[in-house]
A = this chain, B = another copy of it.
């Protein structure tokens, strides 16, 4: 099954387009966790969050920076968490890599062969050969940065080239590279904080999967996000901090589950 087919099935079964972002910071764990043992504590925290939110989300998005900041053991922990999830949800590795062809092929191998992630995020500043090696994996998907959710997004992504925004040019090239490519799927990262842009890109690229971060702590609008998505199967809406840190007490896992359930419900088509 392709990424799209697997995601469609999970989204239908769970009635949820929600993706839970795993950005575990030792300083933000509930207070009863032992901060002197980061790997064990972050592992138990994530493991419980995963089980409590699994019924309400079709995907998880581990943010690699937070695992790498724990040192090499953090990556070992990430591998265990990926195995824990199994095929109960898809797993999107959020690492935003982007490098020349032979290096991109190594990142693809790391994400898809070693860790068995279902998708990953990539930055396309280096152009075509930084993206196409990921498309060799025909049952995977690569989400490429198009218009991001942060303040800095305006610095370069909004620059106009002959009247067309850079992010529009990136989006067009990406769809073309997918068409010309060996079979893997391309998706776009488009922030929920970018209301009009989201709509504009959705209309221009109706068949492309969107990974939409920025709901929750970053202030993105749920209504705007869902308004522009007519097919549930073509969007994955991510929230990290507002779910995993829903409570800083011992009820953190059930609070995260409840937050995920509520957000998944809000994201259902109106």
> Which A residues have a C-beta under 8 Å from some C-beta of B?
23, 25, 63, 65-66, 68-73, 75-76, 78-79, 95-104, 106-107, 109-110, 113-115, 123-131, 145, 148-157, 159-161, 166, 169-170, 173, 218
Whether the Cβ atoms of A103 and B65 lie closer than 8 Å is yes
Q: Which residues of B contact A100 (CB under 8 A)?
A: 148-150, 152, 218
Q: Which residues of B contact A96 (CB under 8 A)?
A: 97-99, 123, 126
Interface centre among A25, A129, A169 (most CB of B within 10 A): A129
Interface centre among A123, A159, A160 (most CB of B within 10 A): A123
Closest to A214 in B: B100
Whether the Cβ atoms of B127 and A152 lie closer than 8 Å is yes
Q: Which residues of B contact A75 (CB under 8 A)?
A: 68, 71-72, 75
Interface centre among A66, A102, A104, A129 (most CB of B within 10 A): A102
Whether the Cβ atoms of A65 and B107 lie closer than 8 Å is yes
**Least CB distance, A186 to chain B, in whole angstroms:** 14
Whether the Cβ atoms of B65 and A157 lie closer than 8 Å is no
Q: Known contacts A99-B65, A100-B148; is A153 also within 8 Å of B166 by CB? A: no
Q: Which residues of B contact A72 (CB under 8 A)?
A: 72-73, 75-76, 78-79
Closest to A100 in B: B150
Whether the Cβ atoms of B106 and A126 lie closer than 8 Å is no
Assembled-state Cα–Cα distance A149/B100 (Å): 8
Q: Which residues of B contact A73 (CB under 8 A)?
A: 72, 76
Whether the Cβ atoms of B152 and A69 lie closer than 8 Å is no
10 contacts between A and B (CB under 8 A): A65-B110, A71-B79, A72-B73, A72-B75, A95-B97, A100-B152, A126-B145, A126-B152, A126-B157, A156-B170
Copy tally for this chain in the complex stands at 2
Assembled-state Cα–Cα distance A29/B76 (Å): 25
**Least CB distance, A127 to chain B, in whole angstroms:** 2
Whether the Cβ atoms of A66 and B106 lie closer than 8 Å is yes
Q: Which residues of B contact A126 (CB under 8 A)?
A: 96, 123, 145, 148, 150, 152-153, 157
Whether the Cβ atoms of B76 and A114 lie closer than 8 Å is no
Whether the Cβ atoms of B68 and A106 lie closer than 8 Å is yes
Q: Which residues of B contact A95 (CB under 8 A)?
A: 97
Q: Known contacts A96-B97, A106-B66; is A159 also within 8 Å of B156 by CB? A: no
